Amino acid sequence: MACIIQVDDVAQQFGDRVIFKNVSFTVDEREIFVILGGSGCGKSTLLKQMIGLLPPKAGRISVCGHDVTTETEAVRRNIGVMFQSGALFGSMNLLDNVTLAMAVFTDLPAAARNEIARMKLAMVGLTDAALRLPAEISGGMAKRAAIARALALDPPVLFLDEPSAGLDPITSAGLDELILELRETLGATFVVVTHELQSILAISDRCVMLDREAQGMIAMGKPKDLQAHSDIQMVRAFFNRESV
C-alpha cells in the first residue's frame, strides 16, 4: 500500500500570531523528508498537525490516504512518533515503554514482547539500559529510547522531532545510519525535523525550510541542490554556513 503524506495549504496561528501559512508539500513513500528552519519557526507545530494532535487552522493533511483531522484513528495505526522532548513514560522502564504498544495492540505473549522490545532497544544501541527508568538515563539515551518506542509496531511512517539534537557527532551519525537502514529494511517513510546540516545532507531526499519572518516555507528541494544554488539568502546561509 502506497503511503504518502500530503500537506495541502496548511496554516497555524496561536491567537493573533501567525506561525505559518500556505505550507504545502508531498512526501513520497520511502522518502526521508526533512523539515528545517530556525528555532520557533513552527517545525514542531507542523509535525503535531501531521500526527493529528493539533487541528490545522486552514488546509488539510492526509497520511496514507487518511485525513488527519477526520480519520485520526486510521492515521495513528500507521505512524510512530518521537517527540522533541522524548516523552518517555516516566513510571515505566525503557523495556516497558517499548512493549506498551505491543501489549495493547497485539496478542504477542509477554516473552515475545520483551524479546522484540530488546531488539528495538538494540537497534538504537540501548541494549544495556533496558531496565532503567527514563529518569536514570541521559538526554541522548532518552531520544534513542523514544525512537525505539516509535518503532514498536514497525509503522510505515515515522515522525522524528529533532532526533539528533544534543547528541555527540558519533551517536548522531549512528542515528542517521539507523534511519537509512530502517528505510531499507522496513521500507519506512520518514518525516524528520532537524537542524544538523551533516545529518540533512546524509539522510534527506528532500527538505522544506520554514522561516518565522516569512511565516511559511521559503525553500523546498533536494538538499544538494539547495546547497549548490538558492536565490534566498537564508537558505544559502544555512547550507553554506554563511552568516546572514
Partner 1 sequence: MSNAALHQNGDVLAFSGDLVAKNVGGIWKSSIAAAKRAQAATLTIDISGCPVIDTAGATLLLTMERTHGGDMHLQGAETQGTALLAQLRKIIPPPLTRQEEQRAAREAAREARAPTALENLKIRIAFFGETIVALLALPAKLRYLRGSNFAHIADNAGLKALPLVVMLGFLIGMILAFQSAIPMQQFGADLYVADLVALSLFRELGPLLVSVILAGRTGSAFAAELGTMQVNEEIAALTTMGIDPETMLVLPRVAAAVLVMPALVVAMDVSGLIGMGVVLMVFGFPASAIIGQITFAAGPSDFLLGLFKAMVFAAAVAMIGCRSGLTAGNGPRAVGEAATSAVVGGIVATVLLDGLFAVLFYRLGL
d(CA 99, CA 83): 18
Return the CA Rg of the chain: 18
Binding mask 142-171 for partner 1 (x = CB under 8 A): -------x-xxxx-----------------
Q: Does residue number 84 form part of the binding site for ligand ATP (CB under 6 A)?
A: yes
Residue position matching grid coordinates 500537506: 7
Q: Which of 13, 24, 44, 227 binds Mg ion (CB under 5 A)?
A: 44
Retrieve residue 225's grid coordinates: 541542490
Dihedral pair phi/psi, residue 79, rounded to 5°: -125, 155
d(CA 181, CA 187): 9
- Choices 18-26, 59-67, 76-84, 228-236; region in contact with partner 1 by CB under 8 A: 76-84
| Window 113-172: residues binding ligand ATP (CB under 6 A) | none
Burial 26-52 (b: 16+ CB within 10 A, else e): ebeebbbbbbbbeeebbbbbbbbbbbb
What 3-state class would DSSP assign to 158? strand
Pairing mode, if any, of strands 5-14 and 66-67? unpaired
Residue 52 binding result from ligand ATP, Mg ion, partner 1, none, given CB thresholds of 5 to 8 Å by partner type: partner 1
Binding mask 22-61 for partner 1 (x = CB under 8 A): --------------------------x--xxx--------
- Choices 4-12, 29-37, 83-91, 216-224; region in contact with partner 1 by CB under 8 A: 83-91
DSSP secondary structure code for residue 136 in this structure: G
Smallest separation, CB 20 to ligand ATP (Å): 8
Residue 18: how many CA atoms within 13 Å on its side-chain side? 13
Q: Does residue number 206 form part of the binding site for partner 1 (CB under 8 A)?
A: no
203 touches 192 (CB < 8 A):
yes
| Choice between 43 and 118, CB closer to ligand ATP | 43
Q: Does residue number 227 form part of the binding site for Mg ion (CB under 5 A)?
A: no
Dihedral pair phi/psi, residue 118, rounded to 5°: -65, -35
Task: Enumerate binding residues for ligand ATP (CB under 6 A).
Answer: 14, 19, 37, 39-45, 84
Task: Enumerate binding residues for Mg ion (CB under 5 A).
Answer: 44, 84
Task: Enumerate binding residues for partner 1 (CB under 8 A).
Answer: 48, 51-53, 73, 76-77, 79, 81, 83-85, 87-91, 95, 100-112, 114-116, 118-123, 127, 130-131, 149, 151-154, 181, 184-187
